[in-house]
Amino acid sequence: MTASENLLIAQLPPAEREHVLGLCEPFDLVLSAELSTRGQPLSHAHFPNEGFLSLVIDVDDYPSIEVGMVGREGMLGTELVLGLAKTPWRAMVQGKGHSWRLPAKALRKALTTQPTLKRVLQASLLVRLHQQALAAACERFHMIGPRLARWLLMSQDRAQADHFHVTQEFIALMLGVRRVGVTEAAGALQRAGLIEYQRGEMKVLNRAGLLAQACSCYAADRQLLAELSVHEH
Q: Are residues 20 and 127 in the same domain?
A: yes
Give, in order, the Cα–Cα distances in Å from 18 to each of 9, 73, 97, 182, 231.
9, 19, 22, 44, 18
Q: Are residues 117 and 20 in the same domain?
A: yes
Q: Are residues 207 and 129 in the same domain?
A: no
Range of the domain at 193: 143-214
Q: Are residues 192 and 87 in the same domain?
A: no
Within-domain flag for 229: no
In this predicted model, what pLDDT tens digit does every residue of 184-195 receive, in sequence order? 999 999 999 999
CA dihedral 183, 32, 157, 21 (to 10 degrees): 170
Within-domain flag for 223: no
Q: Are residues 46 and 129 in the same domain?
A: yes
Instruction: Quote the pTM value.
Output: 0.87
pLDDT-derived band at 169 (thresholds 50, 70, 90) equals confident
In this predicted model, what pLDDT tens digit does every residue of 4-34 receive, in sequence order? 799 999 999 999 999 999 999 999 999 989 9
Q: What is the CA radius of gyration of the chain?
A: 18
Q: Are residues 83 and 22 in the same domain?
A: yes
CB atoms within 10 A of CB 71: 22
- Give the number of domains in the chain: 2
pLDDT-derived band at 232 (thresholds 50, 70, 90) equals very low
* Average pLDDT of every residue of the chain: 90
